[in-house]
């Protein structure tokens, strides 16, 4: 299926992307029809967005996924030492994956313009030099093997579709659409489906909308609540963030209580083969909740915002990056306290790894894109000022991955082919986790048979274009199944290692104890 590219000029006429919504009278009153600001103010806010997320990711970097289903208590020190940002630039540039991933898409817009086709974004993403993980790497594999967007992010082709990937890469979409959250959603529809679907896509839509609305208000509660109107109310994502907003009102001085409520109700991952049935949760729903908790409980204070988002745990570098970027967009670059800025200034002319873009180059590129988007969506740019035609948030279409699928068990395999002769399970789906070993460039050809019929002949490369999960199959009839595997081109220098099997059924597994 070929992805249809939408014209930005046709935004308000989109019937497939946006679902009609009622009950938005308060929203229409809250958002002005137009807003005028100086170019200097617009640039200051755009710079704030990029600067805030760069600082935030460094603050949370040392704790990333070290606290899984556990908050980081107050007595645990989180440092921000002199030179720490440059140290990461010099010695661990992979920390900035959520920024240089954004810049892949920024560079495509810069090179090809606002109407760049989806294939250009997908190609730039898939063939970039940087390593990828989870939904991103699954999408890279799909694209390299001819499965293009939006199928490359669809849950049937990408078991990581609900993961956080586009959520941490969507900042650019909001920064180039000031005051125009629906325009941000259109960009997210186009690019976010490269690697995500459903809740994973909604994470990016929501982040883009918060950035976009951050140009209109410094009221954190307003931005958080208005941006949520871009998400369908029937989605799991919407319900979780609504709960966080409600719990914040119920416990306004106790973020830990809200964290506990969120943990109890929403910390269940059903998609990611690495995290499901484990303490590890890279799902967009729970991590977006932590971003919102940082914003709400941060109360406009930069330190408190990134600290709470970090101490919620799980993806504790990306979440403070997002929260810090949104807050600094609201308040502007010039209002980020000097304590945080002195480290940033050391790197603003240094290119991010895998890019030709420094922060200073990015500020200007994003500013140019925002001016173009303002004009394309009915606004004007005259002299030293811009007038933005503001948009009332409209919910994007509803989509839900893994609907009706319940993870009922994980079984260790821990064997290489050909020693995995057959695997038996009862349920409606299975994902085999594992990895390839061998000389870079070797591609194993392996067939998977289910109940005697070939389900897939897979190419399993060693190296950058590897497949995240070896095999998977959903939507099977509920019954006992037998999986067998055949390695067509075995190589004594290579190994196809099966780690585990994640099994699904159409309902929770009953556990009977006597």
DSSP secondary structure letters along 89-116: HHH-GGGGHHHHHHHHHHHHHHHH-TT-
Own/partner pairs for 265-269, CB < 8 Å, 24+ apart?
265/240, 266/240, 267/69, 269/162
Q: What Å distances lie between residue 133 and 99, 183, 321, CA to CA?
A: 15, 28, 18
Question: Judging by DSSP bridges, how do beta strands 406-416 and 443-450 pair with one another?
Answer: unpaired
What pLDDT sits at residue 26?
39
Question: Per-10-residue mean pLDDT for the chain, 514 residues long?
Answer: 31 44 43 97 98 97 90 94 97 94 97 97 97 97 98 98 97 98 98 98 98 97 98 98 98 98 96 95 96 98 98 93 98 98 98 97 98 98 97 98 96 96 95 96 97 97 97 98 97 96 93 79
* Whole-number pLDDT of residue 18: 54
pLDDT score recorded for residue 510: 80
Q: In terms of C-beta density within 10 A (0-12 exposed, 13-18 middle, 19 or more buried), how is residue 92 classed?
A: exposed
Q: Are residues 232 and 158 located together in one domain of the fold?
A: yes
Examine residue 471 and state whether it is found in any structural domain, yes or no: yes
Question: pTM score, two decimals?
Answer: 0.94
Given this model, what pLDDT does residue 407 score?
97
* pLDDT, position 383: 96
Residue 479, domain extent: 406-505
* CA 19 to each of CA 121, 340, 395, 398: distance values in angstroms, whole numbers, following the listed order: 26, 41, 6, 8
Is 13 within a domain? yes
Whether 142 and 194 map to the same domain: the answer is: yes
Q: Are residues 282 and 326 in the same domain?
A: yes
The pLDDT of residue 17: 63
Q: Are residues 410 and 370 both part of a single domain?
A: no
Q: Is 400 inside a domain boundary?
A: no
User: Phi and psi for 351 in degrees, rounded to 5?
Assistant: -70, 140
- 222 lies in the same domain as 249: yes
Q: Is the residue at 213 inside a domain?
A: yes
Same domain, 253 and 190: yes
395 found inside a domain: no
Q: Tell me: do 417 and 379 sit in the same domain.
A: no
Same domain, 196 and 335: yes
**Is 1 part of any domain?**
no
Mark whether 310 and 174 lie in a shared domain.
Answer: yes
Q: Cα separation of 224 and 293, whole Å?
A: 10
Going by C-beta distance under 8 Å and a sequence separation of 6 or more, which residues neighbour residue 264?
none
In the chain, the number of structural domains is 2
**C-beta of residue 45 within 8 angstroms of C-beta of residue 178:** yes
- Rounded Cα gap, residues 390 and 252, in angstroms: 30
Cα–Cα distance measured from residue 130 to residue 135, given in angstroms and rounded to the nearest whole number: 14
The C-alpha angle with vertex 433 and arms to 494 and 202, in degrees rounded to 5, equals: 130
**Statement to judge: residues 432 and 333 lie in one domain:** no
Residue 51 lies in a domain: yes
* pLDDT on residue 67: 87
Identify whether residues 72 and 34 lie together within a single domain.
Answer: yes
Q: Do 295 and 156 fall into the same domain?
A: yes
**In whole angstroms, what is the distance from residue 140 CA to residue 148 CA?**
9
> Residue 77 is part of a domain; what is its CATH number?
1.10.4080.10
């Amino acid at each position: 299926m070929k992805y249809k590219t939408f014209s930005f000029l046709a935004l308000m006429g989109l019937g497939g992307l946006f679902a009609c919504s009622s009950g938005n009278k308060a929203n229409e009153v809250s958002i002005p029809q137009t807003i005028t600001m100086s170019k200097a103010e617009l640039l200051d806010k755009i710079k704030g967005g990029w600067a805030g997320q760069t600082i935030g990711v460094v603050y949370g970097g040392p704790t990333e996924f070290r606290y899984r289903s556990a908050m980081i208590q107050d007595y645990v020190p989180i440092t921000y030492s002199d030179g720490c940002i440059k140290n990461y630039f010099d010695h661990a540039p992979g920390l900035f994956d959520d920024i240089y991933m954004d810049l892949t898409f920024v560079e495509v817009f810069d090179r090809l313009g606002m109407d760049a086709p989806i294939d250009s974004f997908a190609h730039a993403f898939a063939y970039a030099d940087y390593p990828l993980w989870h939904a991103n790497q699954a999408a890279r594999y799909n694209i390299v093997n001819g499965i293009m967007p939006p199928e490359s992010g669809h849950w049937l082709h990408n078991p990581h579709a609900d993961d956080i990937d586009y959520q941490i890469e969507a900042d650019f979409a909001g920064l180039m659409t000031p005051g125009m959250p629906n325009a941000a959603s259109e960009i997210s529809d186009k690019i976010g489906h490269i690697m995500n679907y459903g809740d994973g896509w909604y994470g990016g839509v929501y982040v883009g909308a918060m950035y976009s609305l951050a140009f209109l208000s410094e009221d954190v509660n307003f931005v958080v609540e208005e941006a949520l109107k871009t998400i369908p109310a029937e989605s799991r994502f919407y319900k979780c963030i609504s709960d966080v907003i409600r719990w914040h009102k119920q416990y306004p001085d106790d973020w830990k209580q809200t964290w506990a409520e969120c943990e109890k109700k929403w910390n269940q991952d059903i998609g990611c083969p690495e995290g499901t049935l484990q303490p590890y949760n890279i799902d967009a729903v729970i991590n977006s909740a932590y971003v919102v908790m940082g914003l709400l409980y941060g109360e406009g204070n930069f330190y408190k915002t990134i600290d709470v988002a970090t101490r919620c745990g799980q993806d504790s570098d990306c979440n403070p990056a997002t929260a810090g970027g949104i807050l600094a967009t609201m308040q502007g670059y010039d209002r980020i306290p000097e304590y945080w800025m002195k480290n940033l200034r050391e790197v603003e002319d240094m290119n991010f790894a895998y890019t030709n873009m420094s922060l200073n180059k990015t500020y200007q590129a994003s500013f140019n894109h925002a001016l173009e988007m303002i004009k394309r969506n009915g606004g004007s740019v005259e002299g030293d000022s811009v007038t933005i035609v503001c948009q009332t948030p409209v919910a994007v279409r509803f989509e839900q991955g893994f609907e009706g699928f319940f993870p009922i068990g994980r079984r260790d395999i821990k064997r290489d082919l050909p020693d995995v002769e057959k695997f038996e399970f009862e349920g409606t789906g299975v994902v085999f986790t594992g990895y390839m070993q061998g000389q870079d460039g070797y591609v194993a050809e392996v067939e998977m048979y289910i109940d005697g019929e070939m389900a897939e002949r897979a190419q399993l490369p060693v190296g950058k274009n590897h497949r995240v999960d070896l095999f998977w199959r959903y939507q099977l009839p509920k019954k006992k199944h037998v999986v067998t595997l055949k390695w067509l081109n075995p190589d004594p220098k290579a190994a196809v290692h099966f780690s585990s099997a994640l099994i699904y059924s159409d309902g929770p597994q009953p556990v009977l104890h006597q």
